[in-house]
Each structure stands twice: as C-alpha cells, then as structure tokens.
Amino acid sequence: MISRWAAVSLLLLCTATPQAFAQVAPKPGAVIGPAKKSTVTAVVPAPDDRARQWLVLLDDKNYSQSWSEAGKAFQNRNKVDAWATMAGTQREPLGAVASRDLKSIDLGRSNVAVVRYDTVFAHKAAAVETVTLSFEDGGWAVTAYSVK
C-alpha cells in the first residue's frame, strides 16, 4: 500500500513539465561575474574556542607561549617575562582547573569579544575568568585576561 505522501509526490512528479528539470543557461551576451561576497563571515576558531585554546596554555603553566599567542595589544602592554611572573602569581595559588563553563560572550563592541567563564579551581570554588579578544590579522587574538 502506498502512503499518501508517496502518492502525492508521484503525482507531482508526473505532472511536472520537462522545462522544470532543465537547467537555465544564461542569455547570450549576459555578463556573469563572481558571486557577491557575504557580509557575514565565519571566523574559525570562534571567540569562545580561541579563548579556551589560550586558557589551556595558562592551565598548563605555559605562560611564555600564552604571551606569544596573544594579540599585539597584549604583547605591547606586557613584556614576556613580566607576564609569566604575573600569570604565575595570579594562577598558581588557585590550583588546577576542575571545571570551566561558558558564562557569557559579549560582542557589543566592533571587533571585540569579551568571553566570561564560571571556573572552579582546586583552591577556589567560584571564580570568573574574563578573556577579552580583538579581531586582528583574520582571527581572534587575546588582548586581556583576568580572574576574580
């Protein structure tokens, strides 16, 4: 027994004209250009993903590498040795990360994303990490970090 859906589909297929299945060729002399670029672009990785990648460097105590992978504004504000000392002083007393959950992403300013996480550390049960990123050189780069 044929279901109603199959019967209706078969009926529509049989009544379609051959022109419905033909590809339409451009008219002679028509100017064909490249497709319009979309104004919406997907940047990979997204701000949350990029922030998490960078935070793993802090979690692993790779402070110098976190400086190297930060944005230009971050590097201009912090020298590598000073950042490594400050990050170690700030993060090591907290202990290892037990969990990190996305709290919010604020894309309110042009080319800036502020990503906040509810983070549980071994020695601090409730903390909020804030990672600020700027869009530069075709991707998101960390420009500021804080934990409270």
pLDDT digits (tens, 9 = 90+) for 125-138: 999 999 999 999 88
Selected residue with higher pLDDT from 35 and 56: 56
Pick the CATH number of 47-147 from 3.40.50.300, 3.40.309.10, 1.20.120.520, 3.10.450.100: 3.10.450.100
Provide the pLDDT for residue 125: 94
DSSP code per residue over the chain: ---HHHHHHHHHHHHS-HHHHSPPPPPTT----PPPPPS----SS-HHHHHHHHHHHHHTT-HHHHHHTS-HHHHHHS-HHHHHHHHHHHHGGG-SEEEEEEEEEE--STTEEEEEEEEEETTEEEEEEEEEEEEETTEEEEEEEEE-
Which structure tokens are listed for 116?
């906040």
List the domain boundaries for the chain: 47-147
Percent of the chain at pLDDT above 70? 71
The average confidence (pLDDT) of the chain is: 80
- Looking at the DSSP bridge assignments, the partners of residue 100 are 119
Which residue do the tokens 């500021």 mark? 144
What is the model's pLDDT at position 26? Answer: 45
Is residue 122 over pLDDT 80? yes
| Span 11-26, average pLDDT | 44
Judged against a pLDDT cut of 70, whether residue 40 lies above it is answered with: no
- Phi then psi for residue 122, to 5 deg, are -60, -35
61-115: per-residue pLDDT in tens? Answer: 999 999 999 999 999 999 999 999 999 999 999 999 999 999 999 998 889 999 9
Q: Which of 79, 78, 72, 80 is nearest to 142 (CA)?
A: 72
Taking residues 23-38, what's their average pLDDT?
A: 43
